[in-house]
Amino acid sequence: MYDVATIKPSDPNQPYAGTTLRRYIASAYGVPIPWGAPLTVFAGSQVVGGPAWIDNDKYDIKGKAPDQLREAMQKMSHDEHDATINTMQQALLADRFHLKVHFETREMQLFEMIPAKGGLKIAPAAPADDKDDKAETAGGQKDKLPAGSMGMQIRLNGTATLEGRAATMELFLNALRGESPDVAGRQIVDMTGFKGTFDLKDFRFSGVPLPNAGDAGVSTNDPDAPSLSQALEQQLGLKLVPAKGQVEVVVIDSIDRPTEN
């Protein structure tokens, strides 16, 4: 659990400040989420139920882990680090918001990722050497992605660019779930048959405009950015196919507004 945690309403005059509780709950339970609109408008939302205020009110939520745990987290793998953060977030939600949830499996709309007509264009990545990563970091070269990771840049108009090094298909599909309006947060089932890892370079597609981008005078249309479907087929030889399947969802049983700091 966090050693110290503060929760306060975000400044309404700061359009990108704070987070809604549904988004925080989704983060705490490892649900990939789209940024361009409330989760409730997406058929693929895996956090269901709860009062209206969890989608309308925004909060600045900060937590500090105990010193000993922070030191231990520096030596954890990426997955272990994320799992530890999620555990602390879930504990904070239970303690400060009195959140109670249960899990259900429901039939929902999803996508299957399959090879496109021309076949896969993905090449397996060469085995990554962690020693090389550490040597480069020690030498001051910090711009190279660590093996097994993926980086994303998102412009205000929503155009997303993905880079990956020795990334898994699962990591790639989760990134698409959270940023593509074509996917809208739905689960993507890997039916590609591809095993192992691959590198991804300058994978660019039209994503979800950030909230209030139009109000800031930013065009929400990028005519030069391909749609996700176009980028998938042209660059990777992949195709998304709509389907239905069984998906585990987080159901909110009860939640209160936060207790005082």
> Among 166, 157, 155, which Cα is nearest to 196's?
166
Q: Where are the domains of the chain?
A: 4-106+248-254, 107-245
> Among 33, 4, 9, 18, which Cα is nearest to 92's?
4
pLDDT over 90 (residue 237): yes
User: How far apart are alpha carbons 240 and 180 in whole angstroms?
Assistant: 12
> Among 223, 201, 73, which Cα is nearest to 125's?
201
> Among 79, 113, 126, 129, which Cα is nearest to 194's?
113
Residues 6+ apart with CB under 8 A from 167: 125, 148, 149, 150, 197, 198, 199, 200
| pTM of the entire predicted model | 0.74
pLDDT tens figures, 71-122: 999 888 877 988 999 999 999 999 999 999 999 999 988 999 999 999 999 9
pLDDT tens figures, 183-213: 877 889 999 999 899 999 999 998 766 655 5
Distances, alpha carbon 123 to alpha carbons 156, 165, 167, in Å: 31, 12, 12
What backbone torsions phi and psi does residue 34 show, to the nearest 5 degrees? -80, 150
